[in-house]
Amino acid sequence: MDREAAGEWHGWDTQQLEDLHLVNGQAASNKGCLTPHRRKKKGHHCSYHWHAFMRAQGADAARYVWPSKSEVPEPQPRAEGKWDPENWILSANKRHVSYYPREAHHIVPFESLTTALCTATSGDKNKTDDNKLKELRGGLLKNGYNINDEHNMAYLPSHPDHAKALRLPYHKGRHGTYSDYVEKQLDVIFSGMQDAIDNHRDGTGDAPNYKQCAQRIKVLSRRLRKAILQAHLPEDRVNGTHDTLKALAARLKHTF
């Protein structure tokens, strides 16, 4: 799904669940965001680039230190302040300061989450049951789930040489195999959701545990982050070839 799709789903949430979306980027425990609709805005709760930057500058900082003995020359910023908060927009775009070309990766991708939510409420990832979808998306928002928050963001190199030097997966645009893998993990988390919503509606069951669903998605993000940051290039890789999210997803099927 592209930026246009993100905008459309953000519009859907705004229309259907206006009071549950974070307003003006303000953090709230009972509000959230399910779409990457805000790209680069300093301090904005829905800005995925901002949160990827903060994570790379903070908890994961050691993972982005350029190896001292790397055969690949360390990329130099176009200007002073490679991690200067005043110049936090660090992208591959030549108009900005750039440490190395990178993309802000949603560990649980928007595409995977959106598709899994449709499947969970309609039984078909290509269809929507608006009433049930409203309940499930609303349940996640009420429990403060934010797909753009630090827990779900990671900067990944968008140049193969830099990916090889940093021993991180290479990220360039869509990553269908990886997204499909994550979608299947989400399907497990939302298993039985249709029946749970129906049973609650007709009074034969309790309300679905949306808080637990939000927590389980975060646990999935932590598990995937660990796999991503610990990605290693097999010794038989040659000629500057690099690890990819596709290759990582193939290994995850056997290691998780």
* pLDDT tens column, 101-119: 778 899 999 999 999 999 9
CB 86 within 8 A of CB 92: no
CA dist., res. 162 & res. 29, Å (int): 37
Coil, strand or helix at 231 = coil
Cβ atoms within 10 Å of 158's Cβ, excluding its own? 18
* pLDDT tens column, 213-254: 999 999 999 999 998 888 654 443 434 444 567 766 766 654
Cβ burial, residue 196 (10 Å; 0-12/13-18/19+): buried
Cβ atoms within 10 Å of 218's Cβ, excluding its own? 17
CA dist., res. 132 & res. 210, Å (int): 13
Q: List strand residue ranges (DSSP E) for 10-116, in order.
A: 102-106
Q: Which of 3-12, 23-32, 171-180 has the lowest mean pLDDT?
A: 23-32
Name the residue with higher pLDDT: 28 or 50.
Answer: 50
CB 45 within 8 A of CB 22: yes
CB 82 within 8 A of CB 90: yes
Grade residue 43 by pLDDT with cuts at 50, 70 and 90. Answer: confident
Terminal-residue alpha carbon distance, the chain: 26
Coil, strand or helix at 80 = coil
